[in-house]
Amino acid sequence: MALGGALLVILFFVVIVGGMLMAAVLGRSFSSRDPDRPVGEPERSLVPARMLCAVGLGLGVLGAFFVSVGTNAVGIVLGAVGYYLGARVFGVVVIILAMVTLFIGLLIGQGAVPGSYDQIMNGYFPRH
């Protein structure tokens, strides 16, 4: 049980670091000067938006392993805030991924996927 929790924590941090690397790559490939911004005005930093999206990505991936919708909801909200702050592509990716893993987590919890949540976490085997 403790090993599974440790693996989920490691997966969470790996996804966050991978998300930050993806944000750096996407930020470089899609960055350009905004034509609506006046010449003298400084450019707004997208680092906070990308960091929020990276944490939302981690929570979205982690949400596939839980029946609770809380982690996925927080991932969706962080993706939406990141989108609003300027990380458009990354924000949409986080929102879609969190929505997909929300349904995966709910399917696992209901026993629709073999090796369901009850068998793994509680040792419960339903008798039909």
Q: Domain map of the chain by residue range?
A: 15-27+44-119
pLDDT of residue 36: 60
Q: How many residues does the chain have?
A: 128
* pLDDT for 88 beyond 70: yes
pLDDT of residue 79: 92
pTM: 0.65
Reading the block at residue 115, the tokens are 């090796």
* pLDDT for 94 beyond 70: yes
Higher per-residue pLDDT: 92 or 45: 92
Q: What share of the chain is helix, strand, coil (3-state, %, to 5)?
A: 70, 0, 30
**If 0-12 CB within 10 Å is exposed, 13-18 middle and 19+ buried, where does residue 91 land?**
buried
pLDDT of residue 75: 92
Higher per-residue pLDDT: 1 or 60: 60
Cα within 13 Å of Cα(88), Cβ side:
3
Cα within 13 Å of Cα(91), Cβ side:
17
pLDDT band for 14, please (50, 70, 90 cuts).
confident
